[in-house]
Amino acid sequence: MAIWLAATRLCARSTPKKPAGLGRHILPRCYSTRPHETINVQGASFVRDSKTNVPASIISKLPQRLYMKPEHPLGILRTLIEGHFPNFTTANSLSPIVSVFKNFDELGFPHDHPGRNITDSYYINSTTMLRTHTSAHEIEVFRQGADKWLLTADVYRRDEIDASHYPVFHQVEGARTFDVSEDMDALAEENARLAEKLASANIIIEDDTQVTPQNPYQNVHDPAHAALVTENLKSSLNSLILSIFGARANATKEEPLRVRWIEAYFPFTSPSYEVEVFFQGKWLEILGCGVVKQATLDQSGIENRIGWAFGLGLERIAMVLFSIPDIRLFWSEDPRFLEQFTPGKITAFRSYSRFPPCYKDVSFWTSDQVKFHENDLCDVVRDTAGDLVEDVKLIDEFVNPKTQRKSLCYRINYRSMDRCAQQRPSSYPYRGPPEPDLLLYSYRSLSNEEVNEIQSRVVAKLVEKFAIEPR
């Protein structure tokens, strides 16, 4: 299931002001109370409106393009994947600023899909957003005519804060299409070859998936063709996983690499699947995929073709392959991180410092007037403290039975990854224009006073934006 489909923390937002003529408080969120101002994103100016919710800390990530750095773990992994699919056209420079239409509507996302919620996605305004997945470019790339392609890019989602979640991550999208009247015999032969190779490899593929009315072949497809394409999708991805994980996973005869296929749902594929890999004692979801909805190919002007597509997360795989314990490290500019990696090689990361954590709790009454969502707190925290925060957890929640007021207590865990006795480089960590909050960074060890100061800024912003009442 797409990650957004599992989202449960959905709620509407409101600002402190009541709209004229409406008897309820539902108004867009607080970031957006200045409708006539503009927001500048990568040199372009956009009119803010009620949906604008991209903070400066996120905008500062757009130019970084970590996946294009040959010596960066994300760049190394992208190159490895592109090497596995040598005949695929690559697209690596597509702008993360896309229309809402392209990210959602064009791919058949229903209007009430949770991913569209402003608590889950970053909107520049009502019509323009930061892409939440690389699938946003599927139709555009299919239209360019390549029948096999890979596309790597940064994607943006509002999310919680912990060691495996970051509001910016990277995906590789891949797709392949076939001419229904010409390619099917060759496809059957290719499938047989791939199956033979996988059968002799040290890999266990657990696949109990069925084609069912809930996850069907599409009516417009000849079931025999859809079966061939599905088989090709599965073999192609199993082969990719074997080549990425096979050596690193130290698969032995006794403990071969294990891959598990699960039925899934995406609005733009059918049948759809997710794939998990068993690594260091846990199942790790690494990708979503499926047979592309024919409507998507029709809109791309390739009506006579049938095809598959997948989207995989680079960070999840890179954390495993390079033994990187915290997703924030991918954004580190500390030479002690960057100098550990060599283009083309997978090497295990050696931890260079582990500063002690320092946690601060914030307890408050939420406002009746302004809706509060945990992702709001996470954005405020990231905007104020940047990557100094390791995680944010709700540790207490209750409703006063007399007043019905709700109290929440969050624990914000501050821990620097990179600090050492050095001056702050002028570019660290924010490359855009100076922003007072982000200047709180330094390369020194993180002191209690400094954390107190950051924490009081976080609380002040929560009061300002969400009318909370500290307890």
Q: Which range touches ligand FA5 (CB under 6 A), out of 16-24, 49-57, 307-315, 331-339?
A: 307-315
Burial 379-395 (b: 16+ CB within 10 A, else e): bbbbbbbbbbbbbbeee
| Long-range contacts of the stretch 215-218 (C-beta < 8 A, 24+) | 215/263, 215/264, 215/265, 215/270, 215/271, 215/272, 216/270, 216/271, 217/270, 217/271, 217/291, 218/270, 218/291, 218/293, 218/294
Of the candidate residues 109, 169, 217, 322, the single one contacting ligand FA5 (CB under 6 A): 169
Rounded distance, CA 166 to CA 148, Å?
30
Footprint of ligand FA5 on 170-199 (CB under 6 A): 171, 173
Torsion of Cα atoms, 11 then 371 then 14 then 100, to 10°: -40
Single-letter amino acid code for the residue at 194: L
The torsion region of residue 104 among left (phi > 0), alpha (psi -120 to 50) and beta comes to: alpha
Q: Which range touches Mg ion (CB under 5 A), out of 1-9, 114-122, 129-137, 307-315?
A: 1-9
**Residue 288 or 386 with smaller CB distance to Mg ion:** 288
Q: Which range touches ligand FA5 (CB under 6 A), out of 71-79, 81-89, 310-318, 371-379?
A: 310-318
Of the candidate residues 289, 320, 329, 377, the single one contacting ligand FA5 (CB under 6 A): 289
Q: Which does 78 bind (CB under 5 to 8 A by kind): Mg ion, ligand FA5, none?
A: none
- Contacts with Mg ion, 276-295, as mask; x by CB under 5 A: ------------x-------
Q: Report if residue 135 touches ligand FA5, rule: CB under 6 A.
A: yes
Largest Cα separation within the chain, whole Å, is 73
Q: Report if residue 3 touches Mg ion, rule: CB under 5 A.
A: yes
Q: Report if residue 309 touches ligand FA5, rule: CB under 6 A.
A: yes
Please name the helix (run of DSSP H) or strand (run of DSSP E) that holds residue 406, with its range, or none.
strand 406-414
Question: Residue 285 CB, nearest distance to Mg ion (Å)?
Answer: 6
Q: Which does 315 bind (CB under 5 to 8 A by kind): Mg ion, ligand FA5, none?
A: ligand FA5
Please name the helix (run of DSSP H) or strand (run of DSSP E) that holds residue 26, with its range, or none.
none
Question: Residue 154 CB, nearest distance to ligand FA5 (Å)?
Answer: 11
Please name the helix (run of DSSP H) or strand (run of DSSP E) that holds residue 454, with its range, or none.
helix 448-466
Q: Which does 118 bind (CB under 5 to 8 A by kind): Mg ion, ligand FA5, none?
A: none
Number of residues that bind ligand FA5 (CB under 6 A): 25
Question: Residue 165 CB, nearest distance to ligand FA5 (Å)?
Answer: 5
**Residue 28 or 288 with smaller CB distance to ligand FA5:** 288
**Residue 242 or 287 with smaller CB distance to ligand FA5:** 287
Footprint of ligand FA5 on 223-282 (CB under 6 A): 266, 269
Question: Residue 156 CB, nearest distance to ligand FA5 (Å)?
Answer: 10
Of the candidate residues 18, 69, 148, 165, the single one contacting ligand FA5 (CB under 6 A): 165
Q: Report if residue 96 touches ligand FA5, rule: CB under 6 A.
A: no
Question: Residue 455 CB, nearest distance to ligand FA5 (Å)?
Answer: 25
- Tokens linked to 163: 């060691």
- 8 Å CB contact between 161 and 392: yes
Distances in whole angstroms, Cα of residue 346 to Cα of each of 81, 279, 285, 358: 13, 16, 20, 33
Q: Report if residue 311 touches ligand FA5, rule: CB under 6 A.
A: yes
Q: Which does 73 bind (CB under 5 to 8 A by kind): ligand FA5, Mg ion, none?
A: none
Of the candidate residues 137, 316, 371, 461, the single one contacting ligand FA5 (CB under 6 A): 316
Q: Cα 100 from chain centroid?
A: 17
- Residue 236 has a CB neighbour count (10 Å cut-off) of 21
- Residue 83 CB partners (closer than 8 Å, separation 6+): none
**Residue 31 or 104 with smaller CB distance to ligand FA5:** 104
Q: Report if residue 148 touches ligand FA5, rule: CB under 6 A.
A: no
Q: Report if residue 7 touches Mg ion, rule: CB under 5 A.
A: no
Of the candidate residues 94, 240, 277, 312, the single one contacting ligand FA5 (CB under 6 A): 312
Sequence-ordered strand ranges (E) for 82-202: 89-91, 97-99, 128-130, 148-156, 168-179
Using only C-alpha atoms, the chain has a radius of gyration, in whole angstroms, of 24
- Contacts with Mg ion, 230-269, as mask; x by CB under 5 A: ----------------------------------------
Cα–Cα nearest to 261, from 323, 203, 306: 203
**Residue 9 or 34 with smaller CB distance to Mg ion:** 9
**Residue 205 or 291 with smaller CB distance to ligand FA5:** 291
- Tokens linked to 247: 């050596």
- 8 Å CB contact between 340 and 431: no
Q: Which does 311 bind (CB under 5 to 8 A by kind): ligand FA5, Mg ion, none?
A: ligand FA5
Sequence-ordered strand ranges (E) for 53-159: 89-91, 97-99, 128-130, 148-156
Using CB under 6 A, list all residues that contact ligand FA5. Answer: 2-3, 133, 135, 157, 159, 165, 169, 171, 173, 266, 269, 285-290, 309-313, 315-316
Using CB under 5 A, list all residues that contact Mg ion. Answer: 3, 288
